[in-house]
Amino acid sequence: MKRIALFLVTNLAVVVVLGVVASLLGVNRFLTANGLNLGALLVFSFIMGFGGAIISLLLSKTIAKWSSGVQVIDGTGSADEAWIVNTVRQFADKAGIGMPEVGIFQGEPNAFATGAFKNSALVAVSTGLLQGMTREEVEAVIGHEVAHIANGDMVTMTLIQGVMNTFVVFASRVIGYLVDSFLSRGEQRSGPGIGYFVTTIVLDIVFGFLAAIIVAWFSRQREFRADRGSTQLMGNKQPMIHALARLGGMVPGELPKSLQAMGITSGVGKLFSTHPPIEERIAALQNAA
């Protein structure tokens, strides 16, 4: 993973924008009118924190289609399209979820699944993946994406992101209040000053990136689980191992940022990487019972 997924960036942007709007509307003045109202601040932080995460989740499928140029297919086109749709349907039935939309997008080897609800998600594969892998390997990749949906990974990521956002908003405003109180000691005024506004905006961004590291760690764990999910849907772990090994020898296509958290990558497991290194994923499957 070369950059933070847009899912994380969108949350950060929403939190910052909501914070600025709240300041303009006088919410910060209300929170600090008679000293910092921690109870009101916690409620405010919760609404803002989960607001950004939920907005990102609800828009995820629409953004995915737009940003990657997904062509939704229904299986009535070519024989390959019919096979892809049928494969997704079989896995969805086996996983006990509603039939996702199925799409193809132009690009190097990659795939993703996204959507706010298990029964109305989207699974998309790239032309490079279809051309560079055997059918069994493509099936394993599709099984991995269906497992993401069945596991509720997008919702789980949203909840984790919401908790992190809440912490970001709460902590930045508490520290902002303390900084502003220090800078304005002895000065009489009815609301927060410039120190509060500057500090909260800066810390929203700084803490937002720290929160992204934690969210990325959780994301890497769910990749291992989706790999195992694919082996369960396939009834055999070798196709997923072979697919990962082939990906390790390819240059995975760079997805639009909005999809990176749900796609395939051969990243090196850096702090902001949402996917573990390919070799670790293969080792985990090989060591699985």
Interacting residues of 228 by C-beta distance below 8 A, sequence separation 6+: 147, 284, 285, 288
- Helix 135-150 crosses helix 79-95 at what angle (to 10 degrees)? 40
**Torsion over CA: 81, 85, 86, 90 (sign):** positive
148 is in an annotated binding site: yes
Cα separation of 197 and 203, whole Å?
10
Which residue is catalytic, options 101, 137, 139, 145? 145
Cα separation of 257 and 268, whole Å?
17
Q: Give yes or no: 136 in active site.
A: no
Query: Taking CA 44 as the corner, what is the angle to CA 38 and CA 46, rounded to the nearest 5 degrees?
Result: 105
For the purposes of burial, counting CB atoms within 10 Å of the CB of 286, is it exposed (0-12), middle (13-18) or buried (19 or more)? exposed
**Which residues sit in the known binding site for Zn(2+)?**
144, 148, 223
Report the catalytic residues. 145
**Which residues sit in the known binding site?**
144, 148, 223
